[in-house]
Structure formats: structure tokens, C-alpha cells
Amino acid sequence: MSSKKKCNYVAVGGQALMEGIMMRGPEGTAVSLRLPDGTIETQMKDFVSVRKKYKILNIPLIRGVASFIESMIFGYKLIMESAEKTSLDMEEESESKLDKWITDHFGPKMMAVIGGISAVLGIGLAFVLFMWLPSFGFDLINNHLADGAISAWRAVFEGIIRVIIFVVYMYLVSKMKEIHRVYMYHGAEHKTIFCFEHGNELTVENIKKELRYHPRCGTAFIFVTILLSIIVSSVVSVAFPALTANRAVWIAVKLLIMPLIMGIGFEFIQLAGKYPNKLTKLLSAPGLLMQRITTAEPDDAIIEVAIAAMNACLSGKVPENTNTDVENEE
């Protein structure tokens, strides 16, 4: 890619991993990791979206749900793989006595099972925090008010609680050292994609100049989804007020309309990334502000990993592992 050459729109996306980045481009899906010995390992992953296999899943609104589910599954697999590869030199020091006991008595596969159980528990925790807790909080307050004074505002109240929980949770998580490193890779992913979209040469210096807040980010998608849930839930509660009378029924209704909300959110994020204008920028602002928490400025070594992943997903070619003189900054 020549410097300052404006490129046509090409869908390129990515994901931050443990000491690495996944990039998905026109020539395939690439994963680059900074290994413990300082080299960058790049691999092409055999990934074909279900949207290409089944045309029905590529219909607007439906494709948003399909993309979200497959991204969650594929992304979780890559995170676990990257964590295993990039922590090899620390395994003996950091592995807890419980981990060693489980591995010795049940084998390494048991740790994978435990990882799966952890994922299920994580989904359960998300349900409690973002579905049950807001409804419980609303009922707790509304029942103490005369004649249910705020009944008509149930969807808005619950939506605001979800936004607060989401922001606080992400902020607290960002204070963890390991997660902060992931957020640095997240920032490098965005900056590198911006550099490519602006038609500039993929160099460390060029990428440093780019913004780390991208409208097509998954964080923006989640935030937009929460805001859309407030709007759609409000419409449903006004049109069918009887559905909000029972907490269990209302939670079930919100789960049923979630695919529609996710589908609308996905279409909006795609449009915002493809057609940046005053309207899409205004509507994307909350998600971009949230990225001030979920991204961090990367160092040179991290940007090099992003460049390796981007080059591979654009060319379909994997470079040899290389050592660099750049040291990772804490």
C-alpha cells in the first residue's frame, strides 16, 4: 500500500487477545502474538463465517445476531489459545497449587472443562447484572411509591441502570494489569485499521498518529445495543403495558426482543463505520466515549504485532517469526 493513497472501503475487523491481535480481512483471518521470547508469531486461521455458508444468515437484522454469536465463540477460543501460548515462560511460577493439582489428577483437558464452566458462569453473571438486577431494582423502588408513580418509565429506568452497571464494570476491569495490556492491544487494533482505511503505509509512526476510537468497535456495538434496548423496550411497554406487570414475564419479553435489538445495532454500527457523517458521529458518540475505557495507547512493540496481523489478513501470507529490539512497556 502506497503512502497517502486513498483505498476503497474494505471490511476489516479485529479483536484484541492476550499479548496479540486477530485481524479479519479480504484474504483471511490472521492472528499475531508476541511470544515470551520476543518474537512475533503469525498464523492464518481457517475461519469461514456462517453468513457465507448460509445465505439466510446474511439477511439484514438476522446477520447481526449471527455475527455476534460466532464472534463470541471464535473470539473466546482465540483468547484461550493466546493466553496459553504467551504465558509459557511464566507457567511454573504463576500456576496456582489448585491448577497443578487439577492437572496432575485429571489431566490438562480438565482445565479446558473448567474454562467452559467459567464461560457459562460468566453468561449467568451477565444475565443477573443486566437483566434481573435492573428489573429487581425498579420493582423495589416502584413498590415503595404511591400508586406505582414511575411504572410508565420502567424501560428507561432499567436501561439507565444497565448503562451504569456496564460503565462501572468496564472501568473496574480496566484497572487490572493484564486487562490493561489487552486494552493496549485493542487500541493498536483500532489505530492500525484506521491507518489502513486512510490509505497510509502501515508503519509504527503512521499508526501512532491515528485515533484509537473506532465506530465499528464491539464496545460501541454493546453500548448502542443497550441504548436501543431502552427505546425498543419503551415502545413495547407503552404498547403492551400488561407485559411489565410481572418481573419474570418482562425479563422473558426483553430476552425475546434482544435479537431484534442486536440486529438493528449491528446495521447501525456498519453504517456508522462505512458512512461517517454528522448524524452517525452523533449517534456513535456514546460508544466512542466508552472506548476511552476499553482502549489504551499502545507502545511500539504492540503496534508491530498489529501490523503483522494486518499485513497477513490483507495478503494471505504469513511472514517468518521475527525478533525486534523494541521492549514491551509496562
DSSP 59-90: STTHHHHHHHHHHHHHHHHHHHHHHHHHTGGG
pLDDT at 130: 84
Binning pLDDT at 50, 70 and 90, where does residue 205 land?
very high
Does any domain span residue 303? yes
Does any domain span residue 3? no
Residue 303 or 272, more confident: 303
Strands of the sheet containing 20-25, edge to edge, are: 13-17, 20-25, 28-34, 40-45
pLDDT at 272: 77
Hey, which of 26-30, 83-87, 108-112 has the most confident mean pLDDT?
A: 26-30
Does any domain span residue 5? no
Pick from 80-94, 179-193, 246-260, 282-296: least confident? 80-94
Domain count, the chain: 1
pLDDT in tens, 15-65: 999 999 999 988 899 999 999 989 999 999 988 888 888 888 888 889 989
Q: Cα dist. 235→133, 134, 153 in Å? A: 21, 18, 11
User: Per-residue pLDDT averaged across 149-174, rounded?
Assistant: 87
Binning pLDDT at 50, 70 and 90, where does residue 5 land?
very low
113-117: long-range pairs with CB below 8 Å, 24+: 115/80
pLDDT at 298: 96
Range of the domain at 97: 13-315
> Residue 94: is its pLDDT beyond 90?
no
Residue 259: how many CB atoms within 10 A of its CB? 16
Handedness of CA 297, 3, 42, 53 (dihedral sign): positive
CA nearest 43: which of 26, 72, 21?
21
Rg (CA), the chain: 22
Binning pLDDT at 50, 70 and 90, where does residue 142 land?
confident
Collapsing DSSP states into helix, strand and coil, what is residue 322? Answer: strand
Does any domain span residue 322? no
Residue 87 or 4, more confident: 87
Does any domain span residue 124? yes
Q: Which three cell numbers stand for residue 295?
A: 482502549
Q: Say what percent of the chain tops pLDDT 70.
A: 84
Pick from 94-98, 111-115, 164-168: least confident? 94-98
Binning pLDDT at 50, 70 and 90, where does residue 284 land?
confident
Does any domain span residue 8? no
Does any domain span residue 178? yes
164: Cβ–Cβ under 8 A, 6 or more apart, which residues?
none
